[in-house]
Structure 1
Amino acid sequence: MPRVIVFLLTLVLTHPAHAEGFITRLLNKPVPGGVAVVDLGDGATAPQVRYQDKPALVIREDGQHWIAILGIPLTAAPGVQQVEIDGNQRSFKIEQREYRAQHITLKNKRQVNPNPDDLKRIQQELAEQTEAYRQFSPNQPSNLLFDKPVDGPLSSPFGLRRFFNGEERNPHSGLDFAAKTGTPIKAPAAGRVILIGNYFFNGKTVFIDHGQGLISMFCHLSEIDVKVGNQLARGEVLGKVGATGRATGPHLHWNVSLNDARVDPAIFIGAFKP
């Protein structure tokens, strides 16, 4: 076989069918608490994708091939995972990632060990928020490179193993921004307000549905400037930074959830650090 043909065959076999687009390069961080992007080909219609028995976000990348964008839970074990595409199983791999610990001292000991009345309230609030995270609207997100919701430096990163007064609790499920009380908080992408509340741990809180299971949650607010059902444009103010709920000082805690998995918001603003 002529050498030129061997060379061309090698190129075909060793290079993907589609060059990686901008969204894939931005979001594909397949680690626990990260995001996996799966190439779905260039069919005429969007494939139906489910991951861990939940519908997944599917878009056309660069107006060409379809991709699925999967949120990976922090609890996922590194190794091979399965995603369902039009009823067929496809494998992808989750890489290892270690998260460091953070120790926090709280004066209000009820926020570490709530009393029975607190626990009843917490369970009711958790059910409300879980329902919000599981919403899946058909509209496509307006943008996947998000704007930072506040002007301020990043403080506590996503995924920290958290110890309150020496007792381990749930890992840090979002990204914190250091900002003064009253700093405006802006929608990082367009979306609909699906839940607001004043919760035991989260304080004053707003949930925004960006589309196809992509949900933002903002908490510890001093003021909420929106109502459930409001359609927000990208950059529209939804509230102001505060220190309500379980907080040691004013800051914004921002969660991003994808197919009901809390993932690292830093991925969506181009600030992910392996």
Structure 2
Amino acid sequence: MSKKASLIFRFRYLTSAVLCLFAAFSPSLFGADAVLQRLPAALLVPGGAAVVPTASDAIRGEYKGERVLLARFEGEQYAIIGIPLSAKPGLQTFTLDNRAGETETLGFSIADKAYTEQRLTIKNQRQVNPNETDMTRIQAESAEMKAAFRSWDEALAPTFSMIPPVDGVRSSSFGLKRFFNGEPRAPHSGMDIAADEGTPIVAPAAGRILATGNYFFNGNTIILDHGHGLISLYCHMNTIDVEVGRQVIAGEQIGRVGQTGRVTGPHLHWSVNLNNTRIDPALFLAD
């Protein structure tokens, strides 16, 4: 058996007759596949992405309770799945529904990855240990962003070939184990690109501005929806140059580099979310 075959298994079982009826008479209920010009780089580790070939009649997928992006590339259908940093090495499974009302379970195996540490000194102690008032704000902002990350817009055509959002130097990579003033915090969920304050920030791919705001940790922030659960985030900006609902194209300016929120200097924090999971943005940069 080939290595690919050994990583992917499948079995089918019938779901309820209700699902079958909905699939037969309301195919639009489950949406349409995206059509891609390029597949993302597969990286089967926590924080990476799985690219799994599927049966051509799949209409909806789920992984860890989140909807999966189904896409066609060169006539074949694929499930493209973001793998959370918290995922354990070994077998991962997800499900696919088809128009016949059947559910198929597929699997892929992931390896472990040892991310390095990063230790930062933050001068503003409230940015490390927020007070009660700060926590109320942080919790409200977190709920707002979580809702945005679960957006699913089938009118937008996602792309996995992106351009760098700013001209600068990568100062922090994805997945770093972070310590602020010696205290452990959540792993780094994006890529930091250092640049002079005021440097233009552009959309790395076409999309719709889903949300903007000033957040306690993230500072001035934009959330950009690329469609089908592919969403990107831009933080610590000096200015926000777009409004919610605006359609942007790749390379269009959306703001400027700043140092708002929890920072040690001017830079852009850029993250990419797929099936409500933060994964390494480097996977999306065009060769």
Same fold? TM cut 0.5: yes
Residue 65 of structure 2 aligns with which residue? 53
Residue 5 of structure 1 aligns with which residue? none
Instruction: Give the drift of 1:133.
Output: 0.6
Structure with the higher strand share, 1 or 2: 2
Residue 211 of structure 1 aligns with which residue? 227
Question: Which of 204, 207, 210 is equivalent to 1:191?
Answer: 207
Question: Which of 104, 112, 115 is equivalent to 2:131?
Answer: 115
Asked whether the equivalents of residues 59 and 140 of structure 1 are also in contact (C-alpha less than 8 Å), the reply is no
Please list, as runs of the form range in 1=range in 2, the aligned pairs for 1:24-43 lying within 5 A after superposition. 24=39, 26-41=40-55, 43=56
Instruction: Give the drift of 1:270.
Output: 5.1
Asked whether the equivalents of residues 38 and 159 of structure 2 are also in contact (C-alpha less than 8 Å), the reply is no
The alignment status of 1:145 with 2:161, answered yes or no, reads yes
Instruction: Give the drift of 1:153.
Output: 2.0
Asked whether the equivalents of residues 217 and 256 of structure 1 are also in contact (C-alpha less than 8 Å), the reply is yes
Partner secondary structure for residue 77 of structure 1: coil
- How many pairs are equivalent? 252
Question: 5+ unaligned residues in a row in structure 1: which ranges?
Answer: 1-12
Quickly say closer, same or farther: Cα 1:70–1:15, change in 2 above 3 A. Answer: closer
Asked whether the equivalents of residues 84 and 279 of structure 2 are also in contact (C-alpha less than 8 Å), the reply is yes
What RMSD in Å do the two structures reach over aligned CA positions? 1.8
Superimposed CA distance per residue, residues 103-141 of structure 1 (whole angstroms, 9 cap, x where no aligned partner): 000111011100110011100110111111111111353
Partner secondary structure for residue 142 of structure 2: helix
Deviating more after overlay: 138-147 vs 74-83: 138-147
Provide TM-score, normalisation by structure 2: 0.84
Partner secondary structure for residue 27 of structure 1: coil
Instruction: Give the drift of 1:265.
Output: 0.3
Residue 152 of structure 2 aligns with which residue? 136
Partner secondary structure for residue 254 of structure 2: strand
Residue 121 of structure 2 aligns with which residue? 105
Asked whether the equivalents of residues 41 and 49 of structure 2 are also in contact (C-alpha less than 8 Å), the reply is yes
Q: Distance in 2 between matches of 1:74 and 1:265?
A: 13
Residue 33 of structure 2 aligns with which residue? none
Instruction: Give the drift of 1:155.
Output: 1.4
Please list, as runs of the form range in 1=range in 2, the aligned pairs for 1:1-274 lying within 5 A after superposition. 14=2, 23-24=38-39, 26-41=40-55, 43=56, 45-62=57-74, 64-86=75-97, 87-269=103-285
Partner secondary structure for residue 48 of structure 1: strand
Partner secondary structure for residue 192 of structure 1: strand
Identity of aligned residues (%): 49
Residue 12 of structure 2 aligns with which residue? none
Q: Distance in 2 between matches of 1:78 and 1:158?
A: 18
Provide TM-score, normalisation by structure 1: 0.88
Q: Distance in 1 between matches of 2:82 and 2:96?
A: 15
Partner secondary structure for residue 266 of structure 1: helix
Instruction: Give the drift of 1:168.
Output: 0.4
Residue 4 of structure 1 aligns with which residue? none
Q: Distance in 2 between matches of 1:112 and 1:137?
A: 35
Q: Distance in 2 between matches of 1:78 and 1:133?
A: 25
Superimposed CA distance per residue, residues 60-107 of structure 1 (whole angstroms, 9 cap, x where no aligned partner): 112x10001101110000100101011221111111111011000011
Q: Distance in 2 between matches of 1:132 and 1:251?
A: 23
Partner secondary structure for residue 146 of structure 2: helix
Deviating more after overlay: 50-59 vs 213-222: 50-59
Question: 5+ unaligned residues in a row in structure 2: which ranges?
Answer: 6-35, 98-102
Q: Distance in 2 between matches of 1:110 and 1:14?
A: 54
Instruction: Give the drift of 1:48.
Output: 1.5
Asked whether the equivalents of residues 213 and 258 of structure 1 are also in contact (C-alpha less than 8 Å), the reply is yes
